[in-house]
Amino acid sequence: MSARHHPADAVLADYAAGTLRPGFDIVVAAHVESCERCRRHVRLFEKAAGAMMSDLPPAEMSADALPLMLARLERNPPAASADAPIAPPRDTRSLIERLPVKRRRWLAPGVWVQPIDVPQLPGDKLYFLRVAAGIRGLHHGHSGPEFTAVVSGALRDGKTTYRAGDFIECDTEVVHRPKVLAQDGGCLCIAASEGSLKGQGFLGELIRTIAGV
Amino acid sequence: MTPEPSIETSEPARELAPEDLIVAIAVRADRDAFARLFQLFAPRLKSYLIGLGTTPPAAEELAQEAMLSVWRKAAFFNRSRAGASTWIFTIARNLRIDAARKERSALAYAVDLSEEPDAPEQPDAIVSGAERDLKVREALKSLTPDQVTVVRMSFFQEKPHSEIAADLGIPLGTVKSRVRLAMARLRERLEELL
């Protein structure tokens, strides 16, 4: 499986620098985990950020910084080599499987939302969205940016089809009505949004009331 | 190619490249090598953290934590995967995220990029950290001064684009397209060079 829709370079650069908004970084991570191309690009940006960091003008450290540091080394011996079996077994589950989730909630016929339990800024949302095959989403706009990664299944937005692994960035200018394609079964997405979705019509209001998304 | 660090001859730590200092810590818990590495990187980590809005005392504390991780995890450093500055940068980046939002980096950065080899390994793929940093600088030279400014602001200042726009006195749309172009150009050049 190889994704065809990727985060923009600027998004991958912010991810590499660790400056993406909390929650949005998780959606990018979900894409990056399954996308070899983007992992390579993130590594390039990390190298750029690392080199630029070592060029920053040094800040003044406290006078006793180094002695304090050296004293701490005594109590913290270096870990054994990477070959030694000292590390706990690595969690090999995918990011999607490891994310802590809250209770799944019914949103509308064929639509479920499951908030993800990680720290975020007030008002932001991070959630899984499960939509049954053939369901058309609500026409909606965004009061802030929204990142989505398709975990499984496929959805169509206008003329573009997004499949598992694909990444979608929407900003405030986008008003859309994605549809889940029937032939691929249901669709699971992970999405982060800033501010609330602006649903159009009463169903949009209903969704906001029920789900708070 | 970087010569292998001469471990037996106890070369003075200050003569060694940062990558060699990390290897010296891994191989023989070399405190002198660590002290040298600390002097090189701790003040720059502090500077990086202050730039992202951390208070100076907290930045110093985090820089110390990052350097302690460098000491503890030195055996996991692999110079064919990342240079010293990149490896230390990613350690500090993850600690900063965890300090603000507990343990989030374990999720968002679980794809531990430092543990994966770059592209297919070439026989002479071991580029020294200094060479690599030189190439990054070369890539940055292909950007306009304006583009370098937005790249630096994106990496080292946690500011929304609207604030960057206000700082630079240019419209928001211009900042967005400038960041987009600069990052795309930087990535293309890095791909050619690294």
pLDDT in tens, chain B (194 residues): 444 444 444 455 557 899 999 999 999 999 999 999 999 999 999 999 999 888 999 999 999 999 999 999 999 998 888 899 999 999 999 999 888 776 677 788 876 544 444 444 444 445 666 788 888 989 998 999 988 988 988 888 877 788 888 888 889 888 888 899 999 999 999 999 88
Contact B151 A119 (CB under 8 A): no
> What is the mean predicted confidence (pLDDT) over A185-201?
73
Q: What is the mean pLDDT of chain A?
A: 82
Give the dihedral sign, CA B45/B81/A1/A96.
Answer: negative
Closest chain B residue to A34 measured between Cα atoms?
A: B111
pLDDT digits (tens, 9 = 90+) for A72-97: 998 888 876 555 545 556 677 888 99
Take residue A139 and report the two structure tokens written for it. 């026409």
Nearest-angstrom CA–CA distance, B95 and B29: 23
The percentage of residues in chain A with a pLDDT greater than 70, rounded to a whole number, is: 78
Sheet with A125-131: list strands edge to edge: A105-108, A111-115, A125-131, A187-193, A146-152, A167-170
Interface with B, mutate which of A9, A76, A91, A92 (most B CBs under 10 A): A9
A86 touches chain B (CB under 8 A): no
B21 with B110, same domain: the answer is yes
Nearest-angstrom CA–CA distance, A138 and A200: 8
Closest chain B residue to A57 measured between Cα atoms?
A: B44
- As beta bridge partners, residue B164 has none
Give the dihedral sign, CA B142/B144/B148/B153.
Answer: negative
Is pLDDT at A183 greater than 70 in this prediction?
A: no
pLDDT at A174: 61
B17 with B111, same domain: the answer is yes
- As beta bridge partners, residue A162 has A155
What's the burial of A77, exposed, middle or buried (CB within 10 Å: 0-12/13-18/19+)?
Answer: exposed
CB contacts, 8 Å: B72 with chain A: 76-79
Contact B180 A28 (CB under 8 A): no
Domain at A1-213: CATH architecture = Sandwich (2.60)
B123: in domain: no
Angle at A171 between CA A142 and CA B104, to 5 degrees: 90
B92 with B168, same domain: the answer is no
Question: Per mean pLDDT, which range of A24-38, A186-200, B22-36 is the poorest?
Answer: A186-200
CB contacts, 8 Å: A81 with chain B: 26, 75
Tell me which residue in A18, A41, A68 faces B97 most closely, judged by beta carbons: A18
| Cβ-based neighbour number of residue B141 at 10 Å | 9
B97: in domain: yes
Closest chain B residue to A62 measured between Cα atoms?
A: B60
CB contacts, 8 Å: A18 with chain B: 93-94, 96-97, 105, 109
Among A15-24, A119-128, B36-45, the range of highest mean pLDDT: B36-45
Contact A65 B42 (CB under 8 A): yes
Q: Which domain holds residue B186?
A: 142-193
Domain limits, chain A: 1-213
Confidence of residue A140 (pLDDT cuts 50, 70, 90): low
Contact A69 B154 (CB under 8 A): no
Tell me which residue in B29, B100, B158 faces A78 most closely, judged by beta carbons: B29
Closest chain A residue to B81 measured between Cα atoms?
A: A43
Is pLDDT at A1 greater than 60 in this prediction?
A: no
ipTM at complex level? 0.83
A84 SS3 class: coil
d(CA A203, nearest CA chain B) in Å: 32
- As beta bridge partners, residue A147 has A169, A192
Interface with B, mutate which of A12, A41, A45, A47 (most B CBs under 10 A): A47
Contact B113 A18 (CB under 8 A): no
Q: How many CA atoms lie within 13 A of A108 on its CB side?
A: 16
Confidence of residue A146 (pLDDT cuts 50, 70, 90): confident
- Count: domains in chain B: 2
Tell me which residue in B100, B104, B155 faces A52 most closely, judged by beta carbons: B155
| Contact predicate A33/A190, CB 8 Å | no
d(CA B27, nearest CA chain A) in Å: 9
B165 with B108, same domain: the answer is no
What CATH number corresponds to the domain at position B163? Answer: 1.10.10.10
B108 with B150, same domain: the answer is no
Tell me which residue in A17, A76, A80 faces B71 most closely, judged by beta carbons: A76
Contact A39 B31 (CB under 8 A): no
pLDDT digits (tens, 9 = 90+) for A33-52: 999 999 999 999 999 999 99
Contact A51 B118 (CB under 8 A): no
Comparing A204 with A129, the larger pLDDT belongs to A129
Q: What is the mean pLDDT of chain B?
A: 83
| Contact predicate A201/A139, CB 8 Å | yes
| Contact predicate B60/B46, CB 8 Å | yes
The full length of chain A comes to 213
> What is the mean predicted confidence (pLDDT) over A17-32?
93
Tell me which residue in A32, A40, A54 faces B85 most closely, judged by beta carbons: A54
pLDDT at A109: 80
pLDDT at A201: 42
pLDDT at A139: 59
B169 with B105, same domain: the answer is no
B149: in domain: yes
B67 with B107, same domain: the answer is yes
Comparing A157 with B171, the larger pLDDT belongs to B171
